[in-house]
């Protein structure tokens, strides 16, 4: 072996020192101070939505989704309330005594037409249009008269105005007759006799 | 005397003066602390993560963390030592996360005590030395750097920190959370292991 192949311990130590020095004699990238200070200034500013960290945005979005899910679930579970029109309280008429004579009909007595209870306007459904066109076999008053003139059998219904008018006698309130005293017969208990059963076979 | 002393303090404030100013919210004072310690912080991170880019990131994070924790610094120790401890923890966390530095490193089979505790010799790439090559140049340096990377963590970190030229043994001791004597032993042991490996490669008679 030549002398170049072997190194003294001192030479090896020097080589190790040089190698370590080469590995460690590095400097940070220029502008470290500026980068650090700019980061600190950024962090000290009031934070806006765009400067939030990703985890903060994600957690805020998660909370928002949970709130929406809870509120939406409650909204779906709420039963649909059917709008009921308030009905006027029914005025119960006084009981009519069976023995009370009914007043004779007074045809001349004017009958006040029933006043319809005021109701809130309903949402009228849209009338369906005749999508198949006008019906040809529809019988109308005009066509019935024409058919009768032509000799076709047509059941002609008498007009409504020829019917007798219905008169309703006014309800007359009469005092109730005095009720008689109720008497309840005493209950008689009769002895029950049961015949003896025969033993089973 | 007092005026002169305060004038000198204003002209060349100590680290503690700057820390007090920074604790009061003076970013410029903290910037001066960054400037004074940037190299030591960077090289400490470099010894742990082994990459200049990663070390730069770690140094930046360490300074930001130091600013955030500055109110808790009471001056019981040197600011630089406190800062280097933060840096070291950051660097170790980074190294664990990315795992770049030790891709080529061997895992010791046992602890670092004893002569034959390493099995890294099996991992040293064998090469035939050419008789006509002068080995005092780049080849030996490259071989040593490769062998340094195969050292166990504790030996390598102690050797690199001691050879960085920026850290005292006291600072290394505080960073590694080990007594100064242990740090010195690790440095000597690292050298001895390197010499033995180089001898196995034919570079010396040891």
A33–B60 C-beta distance less than 8 A: no
- Residue A63, Cβ density class (10 Å: 0-12 exposed, 13-18 middle, ≥19 buried): exposed
Q: What is the pLDDT of residue A11?
A: 82
Percent of chain B topping pLDDT 70: 75
B134–A40 C-beta distance less than 8 A: no
pLDDT interval class at A188 (50, 70, 90) = confident
Q: What is the pLDDT of residue A177?
A: 78
> By mean pLDDT, which of A5-14, A145-154, B172-181 is the weakest?
A145-154
Question: Over the stretch A112-157, which tens digit does the pLDDT of each residue have?
Answer: 444 444 454 455 555 555 556 555 555 556 666 666 677 766 666 6
Q: Which segments of chain A are extended strands (E)?
A: none
pLDDT interval class at A90 (50, 70, 90) = very low
Task: Write down the residue that tokens 């690199």 correspond to.
Answer: B160
B35–A5 C-beta distance less than 8 A: no
What number of helices (H) and strands (E) belong to chain B? 9, 0
Closest Cα in chain A, distance from residue B4 (Å): 30
pLDDT at B84 over 90: yes
- Comparing C-alpha atoms, which of B129, B128, B130, B110 is closest to residue B120? B110
Question: Over the stretch A32-56, which tens digit does the pLDDT of each residue have?
Answer: 999 999 988 887 765 555 555 667 7
Spatial distance between the Cα atoms of B181 and B173, rounded to a whole number of angstroms: 9
Residue A103 β-bridge partners: none
Distances in whole angstroms, Cα of residue A51 to Cα of each of A48, A98, B176, B180: 5, 90, 36, 44
Q: Is B140 in contact with B148 (CB distance < 8 Å)? A: no
Q: Is B60 in contact with A36 (CB distance < 8 Å)? A: yes
Q: How many residues does chain B have?
A: 206
Residue B152 sits at φ, ψ, to 5 deg, of: -60, 160
- Mean pLDDT, residues A73-83: 62
For the beta carbon of residue B164, count every other beta carbon within 10 angstroms: 22
Percent of chain B topping pLDDT 90: 55
pLDDT interval class at A182 (50, 70, 90) = confident
Return the higher-pLDDT residue of A194 and B204.
Answer: A194
B43–A24 C-beta distance less than 8 A: yes
Nearest CB partner across the interface for B160, out of A11, A23, A36? A23
Q: What is the pLDDT of residue A74?
A: 77
Nearest CB partner across the interface for A26, out of B38, B52, B198? B52
Nearest CB partner across the interface for A23, out of B135, B148, B202? B148
pLDDT at A97 over 60: no
Spatial distance between the Cα atoms of B12 and B32, rounded to a whole number of angstroms: 11
For B153, the token pair is 């963590």
All residues of chain A having their beta carbon less than 8 Å from the beta carbon of residue B134 are 4
- Mean pLDDT, residues B167-182: 94
Q: What is the pLDDT of residue A151?
A: 72
Q: Is A97 in contact with A177 (CB distance < 8 Å)? A: yes
pLDDT interval class at B148 (50, 70, 90) = very high
* Overall pTM surpassing 0.80 (yes/no): no
Candidates A27, A36, A37, A44: best to mutate against B (most CBs of B within 10 A) is A36
A37–B204 C-beta distance less than 8 A: no
Spatial distance between the Cα atoms of A10 and A8, rounded to a whole number of angstroms: 5
For B183, the token pair is 């740090």
Q: Is A97 in contact with A174 (CB distance < 8 Å)? A: yes
Closest Cα in chain B, distance from residue A63 (Å): 28
Is A17 part of the contact surface with chain B (CB cutoff 8 Å)? Answer: yes
Is A24 part of the contact surface with chain B (CB cutoff 8 Å)? Answer: yes
Question: Over the stretch B3-31, which tens digit does the pLDDT of each residue have?
Answer: 334 444 456 888 899 999 999 989 999 99
Q: Who contacts B105 (Cβ-Cβ below 8 Å, separation ≥6)?
A: B149, B150, B151, B156
Is A42 part of the contact surface with chain B (CB cutoff 8 Å)? Answer: no
93-112 in chain A: CB under 8 A from chain B: none
Candidates A3, A5, A22, A23: best to mutate against B (most CBs of B within 10 A) is A23
Task: Write down the residue that tokens 């020829």 correspond to.
Answer: A162
All residues of chain B having their beta carbon less than 8 Å from the beta carbon of residue A17 are 163
Return the higher-pLDDT residue of A21 and A80.
Answer: A21
Q: What is the pLDDT of residue B106?
A: 44
Closest Cα in chain A, distance from residue B110 (Å): 24
A22–B141 C-beta distance less than 8 A: yes
Is A43 part of the contact surface with chain B (CB cutoff 8 Å)? Answer: yes
Long-range Cβ contacts of A42-46 (<8 Å, 24+ apart): A43/B64
All residues of chain A having their beta carbon less than 8 Å from the beta carbon of residue B42 are 26-28, 32
Question: Over the stretch B27-64, which tens digit does the pLDDT of each residue have?
Answer: 999 999 999 999 999 999 999 988 899 999 999 999 99
């Amino acid at each position: 072996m030549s002398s170049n192949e072997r190194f003294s311990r001192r030479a090896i130590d020097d080589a190790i020192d040089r190698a370590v020095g080469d590995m460690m004699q590095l400097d940070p990238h220029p502008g470290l101070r500026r980068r650090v200070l700019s980061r600190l200034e950024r962090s000290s500013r009031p934070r806006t939505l765009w400067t939030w960290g990703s985890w903060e945005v994600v957690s805020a979005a998660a909370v928002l989704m949970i709130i929406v899910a809870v509120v939406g679930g409650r909204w779906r579970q709420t039963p649909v309330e059917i709008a009921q029109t308030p009905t006027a309280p029914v005025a119960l008429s006084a009981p009519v005594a069976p023995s009370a004579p009914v007043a004779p009909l007074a045809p001349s007595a004017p009958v006040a037409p029933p006043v319809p209870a005021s109701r809130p306007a309903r949402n009228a459904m849209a009338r369906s249009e005749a999508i198949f066109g006008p019906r040809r076999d529809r019988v109308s008053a005009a066509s019935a008269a024409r058919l009768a003139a032509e000799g076709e059998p047509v059941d002609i219904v008498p007009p409504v105005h020829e019917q007798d008018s219905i008169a309703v006698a006014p309800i007359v309130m009469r005092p109730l007759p005095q009720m008689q005293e109720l008497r309840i017969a005493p209950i008689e208990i009769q002895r029950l006799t049961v015949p003896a059963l025969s033993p089973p076979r | 005397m007092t005026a002169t002393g305060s004038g000198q303090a204003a002209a060349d404030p100590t680290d503690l003066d700057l820390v007090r100013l920074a604790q009061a919210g003076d970013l410029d004072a903290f910037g001066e602390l960054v400037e004074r310690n940037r190299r030591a912080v960077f090289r400490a991170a470099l010894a742990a993560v082994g990459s200049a880019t990663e070390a730069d990131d770690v140094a930046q994070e360490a300074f930001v963390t130091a600013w955030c924790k500055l109110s808790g610094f009471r001056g019981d120790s040197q600011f630089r030592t406190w800062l280097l401890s933060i840096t070291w923890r950051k660097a170790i966390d980074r190294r664990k996360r990315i795992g770049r530095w030790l891709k080529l490193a061997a895992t010791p089979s046992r602890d670092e005590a004893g002569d034959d505790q390493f099995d890294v010799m099996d991992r040293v790439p064998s090469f035939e030395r050419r008789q006509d090559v002068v080995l005092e140049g780049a080849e030996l340096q490259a071989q040593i750097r490769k062998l340094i990377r195969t050292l166990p963590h504790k030996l390598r970190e102690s050797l690199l920190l001691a050879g960085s030229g920026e850290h005292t043994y006291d600072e290394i001791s505080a960073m590694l959370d080990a007594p100064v004597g242990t740090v010195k032993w690790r440095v000597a042991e690292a050298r001895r292991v390197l010499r033995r490996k180089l001898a196995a490669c034919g570079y010396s008679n040891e």
